[in-house]
Structure 1
Amino acid sequence: MATYAYRCQDCGPFEVRLPMGTAGAATGCPACGSPARRVFTAPGLGRSSPALSAARAREERSQEAPEVVTRVTPERPEHPALSRLPRP
């Protein structure tokens, strides 16, 4: 879904969410119903960290082809820093 911006002569700007490529040159204003012209704006693109991008890609892949665990992972040795913690 993409967000398209329109401007009504009476009510001002508003946004409509439609499938990409289906927005017309005009649509009815949700407040008053009069025709509103489409306003072209800069796309809302953003950059994210490589770790976040990798996590999103992994999550998207898991919807179609989840990673399946076939064996139990071996027990990891206790971290050395944990031995310095106070014990009850």
Structure 2
Amino acid sequence: MATYTYRCDADGPLDVRRPIGTAPATVPCPTCGATAPRMITAPMLGLADRGRMALIDRTEASRTEPAVVSTIPGAPRPGRAAPAPRLDPRTRHLPRP
């Protein structure tokens, strides 16, 4: 369910909860019965969990201020040997070349 905001000229804003995409352009005001047109409002993203908000913030920041990297992510650092891959214990009895 989404919350849609309408504005009555006499009584001010009113909120109506409806399924997404089913809100009409106008609704009758529950107090005076006048026609109240729908207002365009910002989505309530501040109510999302912290992880989702951090992801949105990082995505927005990367658009104008991309992170500068000096090496390919996951590449071994110069002067350090790459660690040996861990073998799967289920394959230890298989013949090796």
Please tell me the TM-score bracket, short chain as reference: 0.5 to 0.7
Match of 1:83 in 2: none
| Distance in structure 2 (CA, Å) of the matches to 1:36 and 1:15 | 11
Match of 2:23 in 1: 23
Tell me the percent identity. Answer: 54
- Which structure 2 residue ranges, 5 or more long, are not aligned? 52-97
Match of 1:33 in 2: 33
14-23 vs 39-48, which moves further = 39-48
TM-score by length of 1: 0.53
Match of 1:10 in 2: 10
| Distance in structure 1 (CA, Å) of the matches to 2:28 and 2:8 | 8
Q: Which structure has the bigger radius of gyration?
A: 2
The list of structure 1 runs, each at least 4 consecutive aligned residues, that deviate by more than 3 angstroms after superposition, is: none
CA RMSD of aligned residues (A): 1.2
Match of 1:48 in 2: 49
TM-score by length of 2: 0.48
Aligned length: 50
Q: Which has the higher strand share?
A: 1
